[in-house]
Amino acid sequence: MPLVTTTKAGVPIQGPSATLIYDDWYPALRTDTLRKGKLAKAMLLGIPLVLGRRTDGRVFAMRDSCPHRGIPLSVGWFDGNRVTCRYHGWEFEPCSGRCELIPSLSGHDHLDATRIYATAFPCEERDGHAWVYIAGPGSGRKGETAERAVPELAKFGGRYRSAHLSADLPCNVDHGIIGLMDPAHGPFVHQAWWWRSRASIREKTKRFEPIPEGFRMSAHAPSGNSAPYKLLGVYGEPVETTIDFMLPNRRTEIIRCGDKWFSSLTTVTPVTASTCRIDVIAAWNVFYNIPFLTPIARFFGAKFVRQDQETMIQQAEGLKHNPSLMLIDDADKPAKWYFALKQARLDGTGKHPVDAPIELHWRS
């Protein structure tokens, strides 16, 4: 069931929903929003969550619903160790979800409170994200060990700066992801003097290769028509960039130039079946000593993400009417691969749409 969101102007948007990929890690929120003794809310794949940080530092994520009568646990209390429901005061250990106390039980009751569990999801902190593992519906108690590794931003050494950006998108996760990997929108959506202009369109040839549950744009010298990459040229060493896409929703980009590097991890996370959120985390040691580079990078990055966001808000207006859509060669080939990879994951066939390295051509 699609949920309603609104544009900046308050226009309600109700677009088509996407099939969701379960049994994987998704970023729920930034852990710097987890204040001592406070509970925070988030939503992933249409599931309301309550998150917090225990006194010992561990982060947790529970379904924001008391197993007794369904009131959100987020309106209750948290003392750093236990979450207490505000309706009848049941107390839960938040990492396991185990009920530790039911205040109304008397000596005449035989109910063992500790056999009752609220739903707790595996939750890990990496790069300032609280990653939550969302198991598929009906795959048993949710607090069990996740089989996949927690995603992590690649870093090359201990001295680096970092930043995070985020934007809500009023479209489903599929549109968010194919918008992310689509090379042809760059000159139109991201026109700016410091990036590129429409006039800078030129023919590109990029080599792709299959990787597990994804594909890689093989290491190449970055496009000569964008200013930030030109800047890296000041180090006088060859610049090389590698871009990976991996299911369910991750794009990583690593730029290296001698011992200088820039690394980013972008995720498009389904908030509900019909809306998503883009998060970019980045770390770099290039220009480490230049003061104010972090706010400058954040400013330009935010502008970039905002351009995508504004375009997708406009697109969502069109998608409300469920138009039929097209994917064309070669610029939309990565989008086709994404849909094929996703289908293979959902069907459990493990079939990979890219069987050998291949070159794609487009103008951007």
Minimum distance of Fe ion from residue 180's CB (angstroms): 7
Please state, in angstroms and rounded to a whole number, the distance separating the CA atoms of residues 191 and 363.
15
Provide the token pair at 308.
């995508």
87 touching ligand FES, by CB under 6 A: yes
85 touching ligand FES, by CB under 6 A: yes
Q: CB-based contacts of 173: which residues, under 8 Å, 6+ apart?
A: 18, 20, 249, 268, 269, 270, 276
Instruction: Collapse the DSSP code of 260 into the 3-class scheme (helix H, G, I; strand E, B; otherwise coil) and give the result.
Output: strand
Look at residue 308 and give the partner it binds from ligand FES, Fe ion, none, a contact being a CB closer than 5 to 8 Å depending on partner kind: Fe ion
- Binding-site residue total for Fe ion (CB under 5 A)? 1
Nearer CB in complex with ligand FES: 88/361: 88
Minimum distance of ligand FES from residue 88's CB (angstroms): 3
The stretch near ligand FES (CB under 6 A) out of 65-73, 220-228, 319-327, 349-357 is 65-73
Interface residue with ligand FES among 30, 68, 204, 336 (CB under 6 A) is 68
116 touching ligand FES, by CB under 6 A: no
Total Cβ atoms within 10 A of residue 36:
9
Instruction: Give the residue among 256, 254, 252 at the shortest CA–CA distance from 244.
Output: 252
Please state, in angstroms and rounded to a whole number, the distance separating the CA atoms of residues 243 and 235.
21
Please state, in angstroms and rounded to a whole number, the distance separating the CA atoms of residues 91 and 68.
11
Nearer CB in complex with Fe ion: 96/191: 191
Provide the token pair at 260.
């200088």
Please state, in angstroms and rounded to a whole number, the distance separating the CA atoms of residues 203 and 223.
10
Instruction: Collapse the DSSP code of 284 into the 3-class scheme (helix H, G, I; strand E, B; otherwise coil) and give the result.
Output: strand
The site string for Fe ion over 169-188 (x = CB under 5 A, - otherwise) reads --------------------
The alpha-carbon radius of gyration of the chain (Å, integer) is 23
103 touching ligand FES, by CB under 6 A: no
253 touching Fe ion, by CB under 5 A: no
The stretch near ligand FES (CB under 6 A) out of 51-59, 83-91, 135-143, 209-217 is 83-91
Nearer CB in complex with ligand FES: 92/337: 92
- Binding-site residue total for ligand FES (CB under 6 A)? 8
Q: Are 145 and 23 within 8 A, CB to CB?
A: no
Q: What element of type H or E holds 345?
A: helix 333-347
Distance of CA 242 to the CA centre of its chain: 19
> Which residue's entry shows tokens 């792709």?
208
Interface residue with ligand FES among 35, 38, 58, 69 (CB under 6 A) is 69
Interface residue with ligand FES among 3, 71, 116, 246 (CB under 6 A) is 71
Nearer CB in complex with ligand FES: 73/180: 73
What type of residue is 292? Answer: F
Q: CB-based contacts of 20: which residues, under 8 Å, 6+ apart?
A: 45, 46, 173, 270, 273
Residues paired with residue 162 on neighbouring β-strands, in sequence order? 283
Q: Is 353 left (phi over 0), alpha (psi -120 to 50) or beta?
A: alpha
75 touching ligand FES, by CB under 6 A: no
The site string for Fe ion over 271-310 (x = CB under 5 A, - otherwise) reads -------------------------------------x--
Look at residue 204 and give the partner it binds from ligand FES, Fe ion, none, a contact being a CB closer than 5 to 8 Å depending on partner kind: none
The stretch near ligand FES (CB under 6 A) out of 15-23, 81-89, 105-113, 192-200 is 81-89
Nearer CB in complex with Fe ion: 43/280: 280
Chain residues in the site for ligand FES (CB under 6 A) = 66, 68-69, 71, 85, 87-88, 90
- Please report, as ranges, the residues that interact with Fe ion according to CB under 5 A: 308
